[in-house]
Amino acid sequence: MPTVTQAIILSPIVQPDQFSHTGQQKTMINADREGWLPAVASDQLADGSATECVIGDHIVAIFRSEGDLYALDAMCAHQGGPIAKGTVADKCVTCPWHGWQYELATGVQTIHRQKLLNCYPVRECGGQIYVRVN
- Residues 26-85: tens digit of each pLDDT: 444 556 778 899 999 999 999 999 999 999 899 999 999 999 999 999 999 999 999 999
* CATH at 67: 2.102.10.10
Is there a domain that residue 108 lies in? yes
Is there a domain that residue 16 lies in? no
Residue 23, beta-bridge partner list: none
Is there a domain that residue 46 lies in? yes
Is there a domain that residue 12 lies in? no
Is there a domain that residue 6 lies in? no
- Residues 77-101: tens digit of each pLDDT: 999 999 999 999 999 999 999 999 9
CB atoms within 10 A of CB 109: 20
Is there a domain that residue 110 lies in? yes
On the question of pLDDT at 25 being above 60, the answer is no
Is there a domain that residue 74 lies in? yes
Query: Residue 43 burial by CB count (10 A; 0-12/13-18/19+): exposed, middle or buried?
Result: exposed
pLDDT value for 34: 84
pLDDT value for 21: 44
On the question of pLDDT at 119 being above 80, the answer is yes
Could you give phi then psi for residue 101, rounded to 5 degrees?
Answer: -115, 145
Residue 34, beta-bridge partner list: none
- Of 117, 104, 100, 34, residue with least CA distance to 69: 104
Give me the domain span that covers residue 43: 25-131
Is there a domain that residue 3 lies in? no
| Number of structural domains in the chain | 1
